[in-house]
C-alpha cells in the first residue's frame, strides 16, 4: 500500500490535510487525517472520511448530451465542438452579457475555481457577485474595520473565553471546535454558544443563549451597554484606536434590560453572565458564524457583535473569514486584472429572477449545484428549462443541476488532480498532489477552458499561460518563510497575514460609527429591525448537518433528511405529533416534511437541514426569497416565514 498527503478542497473552515491510502491496483482504499497539520489534529470529519467511497459513486463518466428525456454519451471533441458553437453563436447574436458563467466553491483549488474564470473574463461574460454565502458579513465588518479578517484558529488555545455567535462549529468546523475544547480542557477556557437552536455546539457549551431569530443587534447592544456600565471597556485602547465611541455609548444606553429582554427573549441574567465573562476573561475570541448574516438584516447583526472585542481592547478579536488577510493576487489568477472587458456583475442571490426572465442565452456552471443551493428555486429551475437558453454543466457527480443541462462534462475530484487550496480560516498551506489517476473520462477545468478558447479562436496570450506559472506569480509575497518552489516540493508553509492593527477605514481606525456606511446611505451604527412575523407564520431556520457539505455526499449517506423540528408548544397548537407529515408553505412554494417535536427550537421557530428536499422531491430552497440584503447583497434564508399544517 502507498500513502499520499493531499489537502481537502471543499468549501469548509478547516481545509484539512489528508492522507490517502492506495491499494496495489492504485485504487483509493481510505482517506484519513494528516496529523502533521496543527489544525487537522489527527482526525477527519464524516465527509472527508468517506471520500474514498464517494470517488466511485454517482460519477459523470463521460461527456453527455441531452436527448429528449435522457442523456447520451459522446466524446470530448464532439461535446466541446457543440459547446463552443453554441457559445459563439450567442456571443455573435446577443453579446457577452447574454453569457452567464456561474461558479462557486464546490472545489476551492486555485486551478479549479479562479483560474478558469480567465476565459469568461476574456470574453466579457456576465459573472455573479459571489454573495450567496459570506458577502454581507464581510461588507459589514469592512464598514467598521476596513476589512473582514480577524484571529486565526490556533489562537483559540490561548483564550480564556470563546464565544460562538451563530456558529455551530461542532458541525461546520469540527477542528475549530476541537481547538476550543482543548482550550477548555487545558486551562479552563469558557465556551459560550449563542444560537436560536440548541444544536450540537450548544449542547456542549458552558453557557447557551437562545435569542429570537433576527434579534442579535439588540442582544449585542445589551452586552455593549453592560460592558460600558460596569467599566469593563479598555478606555486607553478606545481613545487610541477607535472613533465614534460616544455615539455607540449613546445608542447602547437606550438598550435597557427590559427592552433587551422584550426583543430578544433572553433573560437579562444571561446578558449579565455573558458581559461578566467577556469583562473578566484574560483574552477572548468572538467567533462569528456565517449563518448570523443570512437573514433580512444579517449585516447589522455582524456589525453589532464585532464591537465587543474592540471595546475590550482587542485588535480584530473576532473571527468571521480570513480569506482577505492573505497576500495572494487572486485577481491575477482569474484574469480579472488582465482583461480590458470588465464583465457585467449580477446578484447571485437574485439569479432566479434574472434567469427566469430569460436574460441569459448561454449558462455555464462549474463547481456549483445552483438548482439546489440558490433561493427561489422554482423560478430558477423554470429559467433553466427555457427553450432559448443553452446550459452546460462541468461536474464530478450527477446532481439536480445536471438534470437541466444540454451538455454535461465530467470533471475530476480533488483526489484526481494537482491543485493548491488556500484556507479561509487558518494560514497553513501545502501543495495538493493528485492521489489517483482519474477514474472517469474527466478533464480538469484549466484544460476545458483552453480548449474552448482555441475553438473560439481567442488570441489573448494570458488565456494560454501555464496555470502554475500564474499561481507562482500570484504567490510571490505570500509566505512567512519559504517560496513557491519549497511549496511544490511538499513543504507545509505559513501564509503571511495583514497586521491585525491595520484598519483601512477613512480614519485609519476602528469606526464604531462608520463614515463609509453613512456615505453609502446606511445608518452609521447597526440598527435592530422590527421582528414582525405574520399571524400564523413561523420563522424557518436552516443550517448544516454533519454528514453533508452543501449537497455533497448524498451518494454516500443518502438524501439529506426531510425533517422539520417543531417546538412542543407549536406542535400542540398545530395538532402536529412526532413523525407526522406536514406541509411547509409560503407564497413561493410548498414542501412536505416529517415533523419531529423538540425543545431544541423556541416557540415560533422551526428548523430543517439546509438544502434538503421534501418528501415529494420539492427543494426546501423554493421557499426562500431571492431579494438580496441591502448591505452586501447577501441572502435572507433565515428570515423565511412559513405556515406549517399537518398533511
Counted residue by residue, the chain has a size of 647
In this prediction, residue 284 carries a pLDDT of 98
Give tens-digit pLDDT for 375-410: 999 999 999 999 999 999 999 999 999 999 999 999
- Catalogue all structural domains in the chain, each as residue range(s) with its CATH number: 2-54 (3.30.200.210), 64-132+330-494 (3.40.50.740), 135-320 (3.40.228.10), 538-646 (2.40.40.20)
What's the gap between Cα 91 and its chain centre?
32
In this prediction, residue 647 carries a pLDDT of 86
Instruction: Please give the angle made by the CA atoms of 193, 169 and 319, to the nearest 5 degrees.
Output: 80
Element (H, E) at 217: helix 216-229
| Cell numbers standing for residue 200 | 450540537
Give tens-digit pLDDT for 558-597: 999 999 999 999 999 999 999 999 999 999 999 999 999 9
pLDDT exceeds 90 at position 324: yes
| CA–CA dist 577, 557 (Å, integer) | 27
- pLDDT confidence bin for 1, thresholds 50/70/90: confident
| CA–CA dist 163, 176 (Å, integer) | 12
| CA–CA dist 208, 526 (Å, integer) | 24
Give tens-digit pLDDT for 251-280: 999 999 999 999 999 999 999 999 999 999
Question: What backbone phi and psi angles, to 5 degrees, belong to 645?
Answer: -130, 145
pLDDT exceeds 90 at position 626: yes
Instruction: Please give the angle made by the CA atoms of 243, 426 and 473, to the nearest 5 degrees.
Output: 95
- pLDDT confidence bin for 411, thresholds 50/70/90: very high
- Nearest one of 153, 131, 112, 125 to 10, comparing CA atoms: 112
How many Cα atoms occupy the beta-carbon half-sphere of 181 within 13 Å?
Answer: 13
pLDDT exceeds 90 at position 333: yes
- Among all chains, which residue has been given the C-alpha cell 492522507? 19
Q: What is the mean pLDDT of the chain?
A: 97
- Strand-pairing partners, residue 256, are none
pTM: 0.97
In this prediction, residue 617 carries a pLDDT of 96
Whether the Cβ atoms of residue 565 and residue 596 lie closer than 8 Å to each other: yes
Whether the Cβ atoms of residue 383 and residue 358 lie closer than 8 Å to each other: yes
- Among all chains, which residue has been given the C-alpha cell 460596569? 230
What average pLDDT does this structure show over 155-178? 98
pLDDT exceeds 90 at position 42: no
* Spatial strand order in the sheet of 407-410: 70-73, 64-67, 407-410, 390-395, 362-366, 99-103
Whether the Cβ atoms of residue 257 and residue 222 lie closer than 8 Å to each other: yes
Q: What residues contact 103, with CB distance under 8 A and at least 6 apart?
A: 113, 116, 117, 365, 366, 367, 368
What average pLDDT does this structure show over 494-515? 98
Give tens-digit pLDDT for 171-215: 999 999 999 999 999 999 999 999 999 999 999 999 999 999 999
Whether the Cβ atoms of residue 370 and residue 400 lie closer than 8 Å to each other: no
- Among all chains, which residue has been given the C-alpha cell 484606536? 241
Provide the 8-state DSSP code for 462: G
In this prediction, residue 312 carries a pLDDT of 98
- Nearest one of 112, 76, 102, 116 to 440, comparing CA atoms: 76
Amino acid at each position: 500500500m502507498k500513502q499520499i498527503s493531499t489537502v481537502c478542497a471543499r468549501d469548509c473552515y478547516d481545509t484539512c490535510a489528508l492522507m490517502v491510502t492506495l491499494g496495489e491496483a492504485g485504487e483509493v482504499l481510505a482517506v484519513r487525517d494528516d496529523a502533521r497539520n496543527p489544525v487537522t489534529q489527527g482526525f477527519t470529519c464524516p465527509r472527508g472520511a468517506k471520500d474514498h467511497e464517494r470517488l466511485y459513486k454517482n460519477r459523470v463518466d463521460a461527456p453527455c448530451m441531452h436527448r429528449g428525456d435522457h442523456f447520451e454519451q459522446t466524446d470530448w471533441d464532439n461535446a466541446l465542438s457543440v459547446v463552443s458553437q453554441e457559445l459563439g453563436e450567442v456571443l455573435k447574436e446577443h453579446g457577452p452579457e447574454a453569457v452567464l458563467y456561474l461558479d462557486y466553491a464546490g472545489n476551492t483549488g486555485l486551478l479549479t475555481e479562479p483560474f478558469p474564470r480567465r476565459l469568461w473574463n476574456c470574453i466579457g461574460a456576465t459573472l455573479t457577485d459571489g454573495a450567496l454565502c459570506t458577502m454581507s458579513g464581510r461588507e459589514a465588518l469592512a464598514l467598521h474595520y476596513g476589512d473582514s479578517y480577524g484571529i486565526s484558529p490556533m489562537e483559540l488555545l490561548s483564550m480564556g473565553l470563546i464565544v460562538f455567535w451563530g456558529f455551530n462549529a461542532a458541525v461546520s468546523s469540527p477542528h475549530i471546535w476541537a481547538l476550543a475544547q482543548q482550550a477548555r480542557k487545558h486551562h479552563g477556557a469558557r465556551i459560550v454558544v449563542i444560537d436560536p437552536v440548541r444544536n450540537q455546539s450548544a449542547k456542549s457549551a458552558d453557557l447557551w443563549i437562545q435569542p429570537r431569530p433576527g434579534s442579535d443587534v439588540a442582544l449585542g447592544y445589551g452586552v455593549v451597554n453592560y460592558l460600558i456600565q460596569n467599566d469593563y471597556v479598555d478606555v486607553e485602547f478606545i481613545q487610541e484606536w477607535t472613533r465614534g465611541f460616544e455615539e455607540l455609548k449613546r445608542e447602547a444606553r437606550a438598550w435597557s434590560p427590559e427592552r433587551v429582554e422584550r426583543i430578544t427573549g433572553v433573560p437579562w441574567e444571561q446578558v449579565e453572565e455573558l458581559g461578566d465573562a467577556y469583562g473578566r476573561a484574560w483574552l477572548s475570541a468572538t467567533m462569528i458564524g456565517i449563518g448570523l448574516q443570512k437573514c433580512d438584516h444579517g449585516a447589522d447583526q455582524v456589525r453589532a457583535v464585532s464591537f465587543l472585542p474592540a471595546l475590550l481592547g482587542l485588535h480584530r478579536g473576532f473571527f468571521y473569514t480570513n480569506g482577505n488577510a492573505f497576500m495572494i493576487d487572486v485577481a491575477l489568477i482569474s484574469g480579472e486584472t488582465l482583461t480590458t472587458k470588465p464583465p457585467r456583475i449580477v446578484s447571485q442571490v437574485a439569479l432566479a429572477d434574472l434567469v427566469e426572465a430569460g436574460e441569459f442565452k448561454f449558462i455555464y456552471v462549474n463547481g456549483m449545484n445552483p438548482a439546489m443551493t440558490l433561493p427561489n428555486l422554482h423560478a430558477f429551475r423554470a429559467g433553466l428549462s427555457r427553450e432559448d437558453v443553452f446550459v452546460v454543466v462541468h461536474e464530478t457527480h450527477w446532481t439536480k443541476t445536471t438534470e437541466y443541462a444540454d451538455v454535461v462534462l465530467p470533471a475530476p475530484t480533488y483526489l484526481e488532480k494537482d491543485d493548491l487550496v488556500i484556507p479561509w480560516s487558518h494560514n497553513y498551506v501545502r501543495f495538493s498532489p493528485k492521489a489517483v489517476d482519474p477514474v472517469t473520462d474527466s478533464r480538469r477545468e484549466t484544460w476545458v477552458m483552453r480548449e474552448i478558447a482555441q475553438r473560439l479562436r481567442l488570441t489573448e496570450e494570458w488565456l494560454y499561460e501555464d496555470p502554475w506559472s500564474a499561481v507562482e506569480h500570484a504567490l510571490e509575497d505570500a509566505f512567512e518563510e519559504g517560496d513557491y518552489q519549497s511549496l511544490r516540493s511538499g513543504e507545509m508553509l505559513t501564509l503571511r497575514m495583514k497586521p491585525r492593527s491595520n484598519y483601512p477605514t477613512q480614519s485609519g481606525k476602528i469606526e464604531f460609527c462608520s463614515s463609509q456606511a453613512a456615505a453609502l446611505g446606511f445608518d452609521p451604527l447597526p440598527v435592530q429591525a422590527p421582528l414582525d412575523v405574520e399571524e400564523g407564520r413561523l420563522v424557518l431556520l436552516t443550517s448544516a448537518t454533519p454528514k453533508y457539505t452543501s449537497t455533497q455526499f448524498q451518494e454516500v449517506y443518502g438524501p439529506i433528511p426531510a425533517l422539520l423540528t417543531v417546538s412542543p408548544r407549536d406542535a400542540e397548537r398545530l395538532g402536529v405529533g412526532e413523525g407526522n407529515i406536514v406541509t411547509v408553505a409560503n407564497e413561493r412554494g410548498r414542501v412536505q416534511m416529517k415533523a419531529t417535536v423538540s425543545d431544541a427550537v423556541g416557540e415560533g421557530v422551526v428548523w430543517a437541514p439546509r438544502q434538503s428536499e421534501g418528501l415529494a422531491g420539492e427543494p426546501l430552497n423554493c421557499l426562500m426569497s431571492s431579494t438580496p440584503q441591502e448591505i452586501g447583497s447577501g441572502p435572507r434564508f433565515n428570515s423565511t416565514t412559513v405556515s406549517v399544517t399537518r398533511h
